[in-house]
Chains A and B, each alone.
Chain A
Amino acid sequence: GAVVSQHPSWVICKSGTSVKIECRSLDFQATTMFWYRQFPKQSLMLMATSNEGSKATYEQGVEKDKFLINHASLTLSTLTVTSAHPEDSSFYICSAGLSRDLPDTQYFGPGTRLTVL
């Protein structure tokens, strides 16, 4: 099946620094990728949709200047958490679908755990 990877798997940073998380589709091209955030014992919350070659679209309540998304190629999307603060600590997950318009399955990366000190 389709494989999505994320790097790093975990990161610890100081408050005020920026952190970049990479999401790669390893064996397929993904024109669209999605970024989710998962809080402990809570569901996944969709943050934004990453579109190759265009600006990302953010869900209501998500700060686009805080969470910068770049979809540089058909296999790579990056999420940069800028000026991170402890409340940004979370588990960030990306996903990609194989088909743009069909009720499709999503293939998820293993997630990145961010801890901001």
Chain B
Amino acid sequence: AQSVAQPEDQVNVAEGNPLTVKCTYSVSGNPYLFWYVQYPNRGLQFLLKYITGDNLVKGSYGFEAEFNKSQTSFHLKKPSALVSDSALYFCAVPKDTGFQKLVFGTGTRLLVSP
């Protein structure tokens, strides 16, 4: 079964510092990987996706993610965190070959302190 794991419930980082939110995956076949962000009282927003091609994927709000096949990871990164980046982050993978059903990780809460 397709799955993703987010090993950290929470990540704390100071504003201006780089941030990393971890995600590892377990899939059969080619991996298609997504990152979403959920702000309080708002719906999930798409950040970026990996389908094929470059291992470094650039997304919205200055975020990027690095696909690492050997480590089966797809960590979300940002060079300089903002307080406004504080939110809940989910990585996801399609449940099956239909692509549209998503299986989400457990989420990682990012807290950026001033």
Residues in A lying within 8 Å of B, measured CB to CB: 4, 6, 32, 34, 41-44, 46, 49, 93, 95, 97, 100-111
Contact = CB atoms under 8 A, between A and B. Distances in A.
Interface residues on B, range: 20 to 34
Interface in B28-52: 32, 34, 36, 41-46, 49, 51
Contacts of A111: 43
Given A4-B43, A93-B44, A108-B44, A102 B99 contact: yes
Contacts, number: 58
A61 B51 CA distance: 30
A34 B101 contact: yes
B7 to A, nearest CB: 13
Contacts of B94: 103
A35 to B, nearest CB: 11
